[in-house]
């Protein structure tokens, strides 16, 4: 196995290093503020676990109702298409 020589870097001038650290610190603070803002918009932070579970159950009920409506609409669509097919087939061509 080949051994690589240690990487030697030229030191950065003190003022440039200080400026770089200042920029990095500002970036970190900005990112932390963004994260805090995102966290504050998450649902349920002001609700107990029981409240969140109740809300999930309500959403599940709404989803079941919506699915039942969707199934009914599909059934109605199929019935209308069947009637339309009958009408089309019963029309006599000249």
Which positions ≥6 away from 52 have C-beta within 8 Å?
Answer: 43, 44
Mean per-residue pLDDT, 17-22: 92
Collapsed DSSP state (helix, strand, coil) of residue 11? coil
Q: What is the mean pLDDT of the chain?
A: 88
pLDDT confidence of residue 19: 92
pLDDT at 86 over 70: yes
pLDDT confidence of residue 28: 96
Instruction: Give residue-wise pLDDT tens across range 26-57.
Output: 999 999 999 998 887 777 667 777 888 898 99
Q: What are phi and psi of 20, to 5 degrees?
A: -65, -40
Collapsed DSSP state (helix, strand, coil) of residue 18? helix
pLDDT at 79 over 80: yes
- Interior CA angle at 29 toward 43 and 22, to 5°? 170
């Amino acid at each position: 196995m080949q051994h690589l020589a240690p990487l030697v870097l030229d030191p950065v001038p003190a003022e440039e290093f200080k400026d770089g650290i200042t920029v990095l610190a500002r970036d970190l603070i900005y990112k932390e503020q963004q994260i805090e803002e995102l966290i504050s918009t998450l649902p349920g932070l002001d609700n107990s676990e029981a409240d969140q579970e109740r809300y999930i159950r309500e959403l599940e009920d709404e989803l079941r109702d919506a699915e039942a409506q969707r199934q009914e609409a599909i059934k109605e669509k199929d019935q209308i298409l069947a009637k339309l097919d009958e009408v089309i087939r019963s029309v006599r061509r000249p």
